[in-house]
C-alpha cells in the first residue's frame, strides 16, 4: 500500500468515525430527551465544522504521517493525547460560551460523553485500518522494496528475520556489498552491487528502504553509504546490543525485532507550525521594535564608507534551493574583488583591513545579521537551523564530505547548535566536519525545546559581545 493510498484510506475512515461519533452524540444530546435546550441544535452545520476541527487536530499530532510497521498501541496513545487535547479545547470554548449566554451547566457535562465516543470510534477505526494493513503485508501486499547493506552472517540473519515477519513491511530485493568481493546470493536473493553503485541500484529496483547490517566497527561505511545516497529512501539499522540496553538507541520494535531509523523527521506537525509562528512573531518584533536603531545603523554605514547599506549574497537553503541572504554591509565595497573568492575569504581574518569601522562594531554584537530576519519572514530561513553556506562552498564540501547533503534537509537558520556549542571559526575542512557533527545532531533532535535552548544561548553570546571583529 503506497503512502498516498494509506493516507487517503486513513483520512476517509477518520471522517467516517468522526461523523459516527457526532451522530451518536447528537442522538444522546438532542433526541434522547435526557437533556434540555433552549433552541434545538442543528446537525449538519456543526458536524461539518467539528469534523474539520478534528482533522486539523489529528494532523497537528502527526496522525497522518506515514504508518509503517509501528505498534498499534503507540498509535492508540497518540490518539488518546490528541482527543483529550481537542476535547479540552472544546470544553473551555463551551464553558466561555455558557457563561456569556447563561446556559445550563449540563452542556459542559456532555463533553465527557463526547470524549468517550470520540475515543471509541477513532480508535476502532484506526485499529481496523491497521489490522487490515498488517494482514495485507503478511500476504505480501504493499511491501516496500528494501536493500540490505552488508553481505555477511549479520546481513543474512536480518534477511531471515524480515522474511519470517512480513508484517514489518520489507521486501528484500537484494544485498549490497561493502567489501572488495563481487557477486553472491543467499536464498535466491542476489548481491546487486557495491556501495559505489548504490544510487543506480536504488533507481533500478525502486528501493524505498535501506537496512544496514554492519558491525559497530564499521561506522565509517555507514556514513559513506548515507553520504552517497542521492535518492529519497529511508535508512534503518539494527542497533548494537550495548546501544539498545544502554538507552542510547531510539528503537522501534515489532516481534522483538529492533530497528533504529536514521535521521528521522522528529518534529510533529504542530511543532513545525509553532516553530514557524515563532519565526514570524520574533522577526516582526525585532524588525519593527528596533526600526529606529536599524535606520541609524543604515545612516552610519553610508557615512562611514561608499557602497550599499544591505549586502546581498546567494546562499543554499533547504533541499539545495538557492536564495538571496541579506546582511548589513560590514566591509568596504567590492571587498571580495580585492582578494578573490577563495577559501580564505570565508575565514574570519583577525583585524581584516576590508572591515569598516562601523562594520567592526556590527560584527562584534552580530548586528550585521539583523536583515536576515527578512529572510526568516520570507520563509527562506528559520531562527534556528544550520547556517546557510554559499553555493561554491557547498559544492566543495559535498566533494570532501558526502554526508554534508543531509544538512540541507532542513531550513538554514540565523543561529544554530554548531554556533552555540562550537564558537571557533572555520579555518580548515576539519572545522567544517566538526560543525557538521553539531548540525546533524540538531537535525536528529529537532524540537521546540531545543530551539528555545539555542535561542537563549545565542542571546547570551550576543550580549557578551564575542562576535567577529
**Who's near 15: CB < 8 A, 6+ residues apart?**
51, 55
Q: Is residue 416 part of a domain?
A: yes
Contact 326, 397 (CB under 8 A): no
**Who's near 123: CB < 8 A, 6+ residues apart?**
76, 79
Q: Which three cell numbers stand for residue 354?
A: 576590508
More confident of the two residues 35 and 82: 82
Do 181 and 87 sit in the same domain of this protein? no
Do 105 and 181 sit in the same domain of this protein? no
What pLDDT shows up at residue 351?
62
**Helix spans in 166-232 (H):** 198-204, 219-228
Q: Cα dihedral sign for 231, 320, 449, 438?
A: positive
What is the C-alpha to C-alpha distance for residues 91 and 107, in angstroms, rounded to an integer?
Answer: 10
Among 342, 432, 438, residue whose Cα is nearest residue 384 = 438
Domain count, the chain: 3
What is the C-alpha to C-alpha distance for residues 292 and 362, in angstroms, rounded to an integer?
Answer: 16
pLDDT tens, residue by residue, 361-406 = 998 888 999 999 999 999 999 999 999 999 988 888 887 777 788 8
CB atoms within 10 A of CB 10: 20
Going by their DSSP bridges, the two strands 234-237 and 251-254 should be labelled as: unpaired
Q: How confident is the model at residue 69 (pLDDT cuts 50, 70, 90)?
A: very low
What separation in angstroms does the CA of 141 have from each of 136, 145, 168, 170, 380?
Answer: 5, 12, 12, 10, 40
Do 172 and 283 sit in the same domain of this protein? no
**Helix spans in 184-308 (H):** 198-204, 219-228, 241-246, 269-289, 291-304
Residue ending a domain, among 228, 261, 294, is: 261
Residue ending a domain, among 261, 292, 326, is: 261
Choose the weakest-confidence range: 14-23, 54-63, 250-259.
250-259
pLDDT tens, residue by residue, 165-213 = 888 888 999 999 888 888 889 999 999 988 888 889 999 999 988 998 8
More confident of the two residues 35 and 203: 203
Tell me the CATH number at 184. Answer: 3.40.50.720
What pLDDT shows up at residue 252?
53
Please give the share of the chain, as a percent, with pLDDT higher than 90.
Answer: 35
Do 115 and 194 sit in the same domain of this protein? no
Do 35 and 69 sit in the same domain of this protein? yes
Q: Is residue 469 part of a domain?
A: no
Residue ending a domain, among 242, 261, 280, is: 261
What pLDDT shows up at residue 5?
78
Do 177 and 294 sit in the same domain of this protein? no
pLDDT tens, residue by residue, 320-349 = 999 999 999 998 877 666 555 444 545 555
What pLDDT shows up at residue 167?
81
- Domain around 244: 144-261
Q: Is residue 365 part of a domain?
A: yes
Do 242 and 319 sit in the same domain of this protein? no
- Residue 95 φ/ψ, nearest 5 degrees: -60, -45
User: DSSP labels for 292-319?
Assistant: HHHHHHHHHHHHHSSS-SEEEEEEE-GG
Do 220 and 324 sit in the same domain of this protein? no
Do 277 and 163 sit in the same domain of this protein? no
Predicted TM-score (pTM) of the model is: 0.72
Do 84 and 180 sit in the same domain of this protein? no
Contact 155, 238 (CB under 8 A): no
pLDDT tens, residue by residue, 92-145 = 777 665 555 555 555 667 888 899 999 999 999 999 988 888 888 888 888 889
What is the C-alpha to C-alpha distance for residues 312 and 9, in angstroms, rounded to an integer?
Answer: 47
Choose the weakest-confidence range: 11-20, 236-245, 307-316.
236-245
What separation in angstroms does the CA of 79 have from each of 72, 82, 292, 331?
Answer: 10, 5, 49, 55
Of the CA atoms within 13 Å of residue 255, those in its CB half-sphere come to: 11
Please give the share of the chain, as a percent, with pLDDT higher than 70.
Answer: 81
What is the C-alpha to C-alpha distance for residues 333 and 306, in angstroms, rounded to an integer?
Answer: 6
Return the top range by mean pLDDT from 89-98, 220-229, 447-456: 447-456
Q: Is residue 373 part of a domain?
A: yes
Amino acid at each position: 500500500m503506497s503512502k498516498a493510498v494509506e493516507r487517503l484510506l486513513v483520512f476517509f475512515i477518520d471522517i467516517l468515525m468522526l461523523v459516527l461519533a457526532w451522530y451518536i452524540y447528537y442522538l444522546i444530546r438532542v433526541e434522547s430527551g435526557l437533556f434540555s435546550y433552549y433552541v434545538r441544535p442543528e446537525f449538519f452545520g456543526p458536524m461539518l465544522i467539528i469534523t474539520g476541527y478534528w482533522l486539523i487536530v489529528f494532523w497537528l499530532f502527526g496522525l497522518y504521517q506515514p504508518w509503517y510497521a509501528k505498534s498499534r498501541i503507540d498509535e492508540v496513545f497518540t490518539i488518546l493525547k490528541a482527543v483529550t487535547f481537542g476535547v479540552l479545547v472544546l470544553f473551555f470554548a463551551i464553558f466561555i460560551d455558557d457563561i456569556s449566554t447563561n446556559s445550563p451547566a449540563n452542556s459542559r457535562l456532555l463533553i465527557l460523553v463526547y470524549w468517550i465516543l470520540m475515543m471509541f470510534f477513532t480508535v476502532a477505526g484506526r485499529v481496523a485500518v491497521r489490522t487490515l494493513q498488517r494482514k495485507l503485508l503478511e500476504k505480501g501486499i504493499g511491501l516496500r522494496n528494501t536493500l540490505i547493506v552488508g553481505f555477511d552472517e549479520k546481513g543474512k540473519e536480518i534477511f531471515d528475520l524480515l522474511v519470517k515477519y512480513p508484517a514489518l513491511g520489507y521486501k528484500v530485493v537484494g544485498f549490497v556489498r561493502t567489501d572488495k568481493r563481487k557477486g553472491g546470493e543467499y536464498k535466491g536473493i542476489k548481491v546487486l552491487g557495491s556501495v559505489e553503485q548504490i544510487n543506480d541500484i536504488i533507481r533500478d529496483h525502486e528501493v524505498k528502504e535501506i537496512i544496514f547490517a554492519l558491525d559497530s566497527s564499521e561506522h565509517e561505511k555507514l556514513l559513506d553509504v548515507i553520504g552517497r545516497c542521492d535518492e529519497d529512501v529511508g535508512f534503518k539499522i539494527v542497533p548494537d546490543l550495548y546501544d539498545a540496553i544502554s538507552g542510547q538507541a531510539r528503537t522501534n520494535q515489532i516481534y522483538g525485532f529492533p530497528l533504529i531509523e536514521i535521521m528521522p523527521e522528529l518534529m510533529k506537525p504542530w511543532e513545525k507550525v509553532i516553530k514557524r509562528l515563532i519565526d514570524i512573531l520574533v522577526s516582526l518584533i525585532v524588525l519593527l521594535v528596533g526600526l529606529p536603531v536599524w535606520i541609524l545603523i543604515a545612516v552610519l554605514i553610508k557615512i562611514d564608507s561608499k557602497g550599499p547599506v544591505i549586502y546581498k549574497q546567494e546562499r543554499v537553503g533547504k533541499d539545495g534551493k538557492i536564495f538571496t541572504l541579506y546582511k548589513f554591509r560590514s566591509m568596504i565595497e567590492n571587498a571580495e574583488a580585492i582578494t578573490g573568492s577563495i577559501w580564505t575569504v570565508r575565514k574570519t581574518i583577525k583585524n581584516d583591513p576590508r572591515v569598516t569601522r562601523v562594520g567592526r562594531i556590527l560584527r562584534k554584537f552580530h548586528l550585521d545579521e539583523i536583515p536576515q530576519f527578512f529572510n526568516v519572514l520570507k520563509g527562506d530561513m528559520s531562527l534556528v537551523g544550520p547556517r546557510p553556506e554559499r553555493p561554491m562552498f557547498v559544492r566543495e564540501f559535498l566533494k570532501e564530505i558526502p554526508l554534508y547533503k543531509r544538512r540541507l534537509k532542513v531550513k538554514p537558520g540565523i543561529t544554530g547548535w554548531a554556533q552555540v556549542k562550537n564558537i571557533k571559526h572555520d579555518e580548515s575542512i576539519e572545522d567544517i566536519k566538526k560543525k557538521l557533527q553539531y548540525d546533524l545532531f540538531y537535525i536528529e533532535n529537532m524540537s521546540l525545546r531545543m530551539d528555545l535552548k539555542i535561542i537563549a544561548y545565542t542571546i547570551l553570546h550576543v550580549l557578551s559581545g564575542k562576535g567577529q571583529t
